[in-house]
Structure 1
Amino acid sequence: MSKDKKPQENTILDIAEALKLSPATISRALNNHPHVKEKTKSDVLKMAAQLGYRRNQMASGLRSNKTHTVGLIVPRISMFFHAEVITTIQNSLHKHGYNLIICQSNDLLSMEQELAEILYSSRVDALIVACTLQPTDFSHFDKLVGSGIPVIFYDRVPLNTYNATFIKGDDFRGGYLATVHLIETGCKRIAHISGKLSSNLYQDRTAGYRKAMEQHKLSVNEEWVFHQELTHENAREAMTRMFEGETVPDALFCANDVTAIAALEFAKENGIVVPDDLKMIGYSNDPRTSIISPSISTIEQHPDKVGKRIVEVLMDLLKNGPEKPEVKARPHVIPVELIRRMSS
């Protein structure tokens, strides 16, 4: 055989000949059809493995107009919340016979646009997206929506009305619960480190913070309210600015746990005793917040519930077709929960 010539792959016909069954039966068995006996399915799968049969998913998709593949775009796979959501989605989709293609936008709109085109060209049956922090242009999803392909936005969702389904946490209530908790422990000078207001997450969490302060007739020191990229370095810089004057905060609400951990590190290094001098609460219930000392109070987002709801809604869309626009405009909101620990 020529070195440049690929070996011919076995097909369904080869499996059918080996088992003395019809090609149609082999096809149904490989597709886990309920009318095929379990023993037949087992025999077919064993013979397929023995012959080195490799299913051509693309060809099957072209015939049926379904690839049983769902695309997922997230900002960063390493983020705890998204990692948990991805695990739940993949496990749940697998039970329904769907595969998941996971893509990472690196929080770049240009990358998100490129990935949306790639997934569309890959003929995914649906797309799940957590937007970048600059969600202003969604035209790269128009092709999918216009083709009747369900698009579900979760967590980070478009700020404007868009003809897709939204699934998000109750971030306003999360911000409100966090701030009320600090107020109920006796705090009056509460600072807030939040993300950029281009994202629905930080708009809502900040709005919850401000509502709680207003209801309890506490003034907000605008010099202690930060809207920035929530990195370790930015958190330390914000802490430096807050604690360089004579009047300092007695509490801090951080819009994510990465910031809360960095703030606690700064406090330890500068002789600020938590929770005696400064009470703190974060957001997302990152596992590190429960093992650090002192453990950090936080808001639980229930990523497992988010993932399950995404798949429930998606299966309904794939079965019954696109929702009406007015139904899509109403987001599915997942409740959040206050987790009190030693930092407050």
Structure 2
Amino acid sequence: MSTIRYSRERQIALSAVLKASLLAQKVQEQLVGSGGVEKRDKSPVTVGDYTSQALVSSLLALHFPADRIIGEEDSSDLRQPSQSAIKDQIVRLASEAMSESLPLEEEERAWEGVKAGEPKTEADWLAAIDRGNSEGGASGRHWALDPIDGTKGFLRGGQYAVCLGLIEEGEVVLGVMGCPNLPLDPKNKDGEKGALFVAVKGEGAFQRSFTSSTLTPISMSTLTSLSSASFCESVEAGHSDHSTNARIAQLLGITKDSVRMDSQAKYCSIARGDGDIYLRLPVSETYQEKVWDHASGSLLVAEAGGVVSDMHGKPLDFSLGRTLRGNKGVVAAHKDWHAKVIEAVQQAVGEEKK
């Protein structure tokens, strides 16, 4: 894989996502454990989210100081006295993660300038988190960052992802995702886990491990019939309308059970052919999808041979700020079948309104 324009951005993004992914694994081991935690206790993912955002933000600020970040988190809650214990954990984990070496030399080198400025104070880390306060828009360069996407998956020991996308003049041009719990080989569920996914616009989609820089091309499955397809959808019913999805499957003649997983790992899954269609239909008329939930994943699928749109077939518009307020829902499928899927979506939604 070679590109001239975004080679540096791609390498820095891979380095940032890898370190944040390894941090997330550590937080899971230390604060969640193999048995998971109760859903109501979200403190582990809170610690992971903030720390991951602080790390990625610090690296981006070093290499691309003029770029802005559309991050999911800000430090306002952390500054409350009641959050002092969590804040202390974040400072400790961020400092430890910054000093820990990455397994690959080229990625370790990316952090040298950041490490030279150690030690960072509590104020430094909070400021790093708050660099994610960009409102986005149609001009300039913005990094869309979801430091841990898939809260419920993280807490239950399921799928989650660290997601970083570069939006330039309102268009996603680079996407990197780290999925610590996703098997590297989908045919060997018990094999090595931890996959990094990367796509540069016009360059194709690729996968690699956490410990090797070797990039393997990936692509969506080519189907002879939609009836042999499988859906990949959210675990949580609050994230997508499962009943409408079932009707869409019926209209398309799909009989396979849906593959359900949390986070943008769904995009990664269909991009490499584990599943075929990703549906995220709105469960609320007022909900607006967030930019960081779809930037990197949508580019990965597009570069793997797919089309990603909203439920009406409109391209996702990343130029409107922190949300996709110009779109409703998300539908991703192979380019050969996307139009058929949209037809079924429209029919199913139309039936519900009658």
Give TM-score scaled by structure 1 length. Answer: 0.24
Structure whose residues are more often strand by fraction: 2
Larger radius of gyration: 1
